[in-house]
Amino acid sequence: MQCHCRLPSRHSLHGQRVFQPASQRPQRLKAARPQAVAVSQVPTSLSTSRVWEAAYEQLQMEKGVCNLIQKYTPEAVRERALSSPDSTFQILSRAGTMTTVMGRFFLGLVWDRVTGQADTPGRVQYRAAQLREALTWLGPSFVKAGQVLASRPDIVREDYMNELCTLQDDVPSFPDDQAFGILQEELGRPIAEVFSSISERPIAAASLGQVYKAVLRETGQEVAVKVQRPGVEPIIFRDLFIFRALARLVNSTSKKKLGCNAQLIVDEFGEKLLEELDYLQEARNIQDFYRNFSNDPKVKIPWVRRDLSGPRVLTMEWIDGIRCTDPAAIRASGMDVAEFIRCGVVTGLRQLLEFGLFHGDPHPGNIFAMPDGRIAYVDFGNVAELSQTNKQTLIDAIVHAVNEDYEGMAEDFIKLGFLAPGTDVTPIAPALQEIWQDSMGRSLADFNFRTVTSKFNDLVYQYPIRIPERYSLVIRALLTQEGICLTLSPEFHFLEVAYPYVARRLLTAEDPILRERLFQVLFQNGKFQWKRAEKLLGLAKEGSGGLDITSTVRDAVKVVLLDDKLRMQLVNAFTEDNKLHVAEVRSILNEVQGEINTQQLVRQTLGDLPALSRQFMLSWSDKILSS
């Protein structure tokens, strides 16, 4: 089962001129969308709690990842929000505050339209600042929502987005005595016993907490100590309860008019928010990233002290580098900026396609350039996970893009949850083709993610496409990363870095599934693509560190010996059009010259001969018996 909704979009937010005007949206085509089942259509015999859980169950089934440590459920939010005797009064009071603050802002937008000031630069800047201040005043839940919008140029107009970006780094701190009280309570002993020194003021303040710099007494190591804002958890549970209650009220309308499940939108947002609220979960995220990149000499992941951390306190290694918020300092440091950029892009792709665990908030303040040229990450509260199936489907989508198989790409959209099962992809495939070809232009240098996002955004409103939460984070991460790279080097082109990595991974990975994808790239309509093979090898060699395809050649030999169909395809490729393709073979051999360890290949092939002979004989006997 998959759920059919989208994250909050400009359809559901009607602030005049903050979001893209409705008049600019293409007419949505409704014929392709299967009928979604609204929560309001659930049989009335179900209990209230069961209705609350329905959309959330859809979310968990769609993710395809089993999370044994789950803090968010709709019922848990309901219980926490209603846990105190005066909870009803607190909820009503909070809802009234939200309505007053945001109502004042939206009434201001209406007044601007009436008075003809809606697009006046000075007025727009004033309203953008007003929105930022309103979100800040309403607290962490709204600040996090603003931070999400600040990374979504497809939802919010640029001038508002730029103002909301200040929410990333310009959040007021809370009193230090409260922070030190929480720290001592979580440590279970005096602060002086653990730290020989700690900064009197926070180094940075965020929506959920603030960071101090300290020195461990036992080792002398510098650490960053993150302390959660006092009383933030009850407020967030209360806000999520209100959000979900409102979503339930409008769910039938949102499904009918907009094709989205409003409750699921809240579930996706709430689940990530509560994950960020749990600093022990962040410590586990850091440890996972640390293991994933432990053998990568170009990536720095800080270590974490679990024994000095708790649900409200996190103690991790202090990163001493240059934040990517200061590109001039990075360029002036003398490091190889091009290599640093390449490292950042490859690191991001490895998170997505190899590990399936990626940093969901890689804004410039969370990425550092180390003095030795390494890239370092901090703030692992917002981390998303992709299942093995989702990773494979992403790779399929890349293969289909390379092969210009747009119907296959549209089918991938169904598997990834962008389209509902059963959706007719016939009208969607040509639209994807137009977007991809227009974005690619004449070369890789013409491609950029912001252009693709803008074009894809129009597609969302023409067809029943939704953006699952985890892929919203993927898009956000790629857009942010591309923006960082462009500030460091205006001549940067993402695909010129990403394609070599993907090519190397297809050619060198020992994963049988990736081997299958490689053959899909090299064969199209049963024909071997000589130019594509040569281009793939050329792209792969552009990456650093050398290209060893010995294992790939070894596997190819095994497959050719055992697969009659593939063997005939290769023979046909060599003799296609009634001629021997000697020049093409020579060109391929020139590309791989020096990239194959001949001695290792011979040794491994000889070692495989007994097993290969047995498999060959079994295959031969099966054919004899079947005939």
Rounded-to-integer distance, Cα 269 and Cα 7, Å:
9
The strand pair at 299-300 and 375-377 is best described as parallel
Rounded-to-integer distance, Cα 341 and Cα 427, Å:
38
Q: What's the confidence (pLDDT) of residue 375?
A: 95
Instruction: Give the burial string for 179-209 (b: 16+ CB within 10 Å, else e).
Output: beebbbebbeeeeeebbeebeeebebbbbbb
Q: Which residues contact 318 (CB under 8 A, 6 or more apart)?
A: 213, 221, 222, 223, 224, 302
Length of the chain: 627
Q: Measure the CA dihedral 273/276/281/282, to 10°.
A: 150
Q: Active site residue: 112, 154, 239, 361, which one?
A: 361
Task: Provide the sign of the torsion angle of the four alpha carbons 530, 557, 353, 369, taken in this order.
Answer: negative
Q: What are phi and psi of 588, to 5 degrees?
A: -65, -45
Q: What's the confidence (pLDDT) of residue 425?
A: 85
Scanning 165-278, the segments in alpha helix (DSSP H) are 176-187, 191-194, 232-253, 262-277
Rounded-to-integer distance, Cα 288 and Cα 282, Å:
10
Q: What's the confidence (pLDDT) of residue 11?
A: 33
Tokens of 77: 């939010």
Task: Name the residue among 89, 61, 12, 52 with its Cα closest to residue 248.
Answer: 52
Q: Which residue has tokens 């080792």?
A: 219
Q: Which residue has tokens 């053998």?
A: 295
Q: What's the confidence (pLDDT) of residue 16?
A: 39
In the 3-class helix/strand/coil scheme, how is 43-87 assigned residue by residue?
CCCCCHHHHHHHHHHHHHHHHCCCCCCCCCCHHHHHHHHCCCCCH
Q: What's the confidence (pLDDT) of residue 28?
A: 40
Listed as ranges, residues in the chain with pLDDT below 70 are 1-70, 150-156, 158, 168-171, 257-260, 440-446, 457, 461, 507-510, 515, 526, 536, 538-570, 573-581, 588-589, 591-597, 601, 612, 616, 619-620, 622-623, 626-627
For residues 144 and 180, the answer to whether their CB atoms sit within 8 Å is no
Q: What are phi and psi of 223, to 5 degrees?
A: -135, 160
Tokens of 288: 């996972």
pLDDT tens per residue across span 421-474: 888 888 888 988 888 877 766 555 667 777 777 777 677 767 777 777 778 778
Q: Using DSSP, state whether 374 is helix, strand or coil.
A: coil
Q: What's the confidence (pLDDT) of residue 23?
A: 38
- Which residues are bridge partners to 299 per DSSP? 375
For residues 313 and 186, the answer to whether their CB atoms sit within 8 Å is yes
Rounded-to-integer distance, Cα 7 and Cα 468, Å:
7
Tokens of 425: 């992809």
C-alpha Rg value of the chain to the nearest Å: 27
The strand pair at 209-216 and 195-198 is best described as antiparallel
Active site residue 446: no
Task: Name the residue among 74, 73, 236 with its Cα closest to residue 141.
Answer: 236
